[in-house]
Amino acid sequence: MKQSPAPSLPSAEAALPRLPDRRQSVQSAQTGMVVLKGLANIGGNAGLTALAAHVGESPAKVHRYLVSLMQEGLVDQDPATQRYFLGPELIRIGLAAMRQAEPIRHAEPALIRLRESLEVTCFVAVMGNRGPTIMRIEEPGLPVTVNVRAGSVMSMLWSATGRVFLGLLDEASVRQMAESELAAATDDMRALLPSPDPIGTLQREVRAACCASVRDTYLRGISAVAAPVFDFTGRVCAVITALGASGGFDPSVDGRIAIAVCREAHATSLKLGCVGPPPAAG
């Protein structure tokens, strides 16, 4: 009697489950992030048609990704309006990121780049209870001798650092510090400020340029340029400043140093979650 041949066993390769193509998975993940960021960029609340138009994809394709994002809690949908909005898991992720958004840590690489490219002293300051306080300072190989270091408190009116806080940080305590400095100033110090409204004029100048510069006002023979760092709410949380000897330092708000400082301050702001175009120096 003729026996039927035994069924062949599947090869080891055939027995393994088929894995999705890695490139396809990466591309799918990227598209999902595009949809998620697109939703955030248009206010975190949008209909399918508007969101698809914003990201440049078909509504059907965007809908497929939204379903996946909803399954992970990154997106939610209002059953009454059918509009999509950012979900609870994304909020938790955002809160975790904000807790790590420490301006001093994010400003450190910017200080090093400025020190190396401009060969000037650079520091980052935050607003303390006594005024703008230097938190981290970087000096070039041949530093300019200045009496500032980590922990130094800068003037609100005569330093570029203080003027940025004065112009862009809309808080009563900041104004009070400036008014107290002005009231205690000598006639010679007052002569270095614009008149007849020194505080108001300085605020308007800083708001127009989104940076501040000084020459021989806070420290004789020293010039400086400062630019703001904004957090995710749009509030000034720190100021990056570059300073050097007035003879070889261009403090103009449209000069090379100011442009570099503003660029690094903007890059630091982006790391802290601030959105918007970089402010133009000058």
- pLDDT of 16 > 70? The answer is no
Give the sheet arrangement for strand 84-86, strand by strand. 45-46, 84-86, 75-77
Total-model pTM: 0.68
In this structure, how many other beta carbons lie within 10 angstroms of the beta carbon of residue 238?
27
Confidence of residue 228 (pLDDT cuts 50, 70, 90): very high
Confidence of residue 246 (pLDDT cuts 50, 70, 90): confident
Look at residue 254 and tell me if it is in a domain.
yes
Domain match, 88 and 145 both: no
Q: Pick 11 or 32 by higher pLDDT.
A: 32
Look at residue 8 and tell me if it is in a domain.
no
Give the pLDDT of residue 23: 62
Domain match, 119 and 57 both: no
Domain match, 90 and 107 both: no
Look at residue 257 and tell me if it is in a domain.
yes
Domain match, 135 and 242 both: yes
- pLDDT of 211 > 50? The answer is yes
When mean pLDDT is compared across 96-100, 106-110, 144-148, the lowest value belongs to 96-100
Look at residue 232 and tell me if it is in a domain.
yes
Confidence of residue 32 (pLDDT cuts 50, 70, 90): confident
Domain match, 63 and 105 both: no
Distance CA 151, CA 54 (A): 47
Q: H or E element: which one contains 257?
A: helix 256-271
| Nearest CA-CA partner of 253 in 222, 282, 218, 210 | 282
Distance CA 219, CA 87 (A): 52
Domain match, 87 and 149 both: no
Asked if the bond preceding 5 is cis, omega within 30° of 0, the reply is: no
> Using an 8 Å Cβ cutoff, are 274 and 230 in contact?
yes
Look at residue 10 and tell me if it is in a domain.
no
Give the pLDDT of residue 157: 96
Q: What is the mean pLDDT of the segment spanning 255-272? A: 94
- Expressed as residue numbers, the domain containing 180 is 101-271
Domain match, 180 and 249 both: yes
Look at residue 107 and tell me if it is in a domain.
yes
Which structure tokens are listed for 184?
A: 């205690």
Domain boundary among 98, 122, 137: 98
Domain match, 130 and 259 both: yes
Domain match, 85 and 123 both: no
Domain match, 90 and 105 both: no
Distance CA 18, CA 2 (A): 38
CA angle at 30 for the pair 274 and 88, rounded to the nearest 5°? 60
Give the pLDDT of residue 257: 94
Domain match, 200 and 124 both: yes
Give the pLDDT of residue 18: 53
Give the pLDDT of residue 99: 61
> Using an 8 Å Cβ cutoff, are 260 and 270 in contact?
no
Give the pLDDT of residue 12: 43
CATH number of the domain to which 235 belongs: 3.30.450.40
Domain boundary among 53, 77, 98: 98
Give the pLDDT of residue 281: 47
When mean pLDDT is compared across 17-21, 150-154, 158-162, the lowest value belongs to 17-21
Domain match, 190 and 219 both: yes
| Nearest CA-CA partner of 54 in 36, 66, 42 | 42
Give the pLDDT of residue 11: 46
Give the pLDDT of residue 30: 87
Domain boundary among 38, 68, 98: 98
CATH number of the domain to which 76 belongs: 1.10.10.10
Look at residue 14 and tell me if it is in a domain.
no
Look at residue 4 and tell me if it is in a domain.
no
User: Domain count of the chain?
Assistant: 2
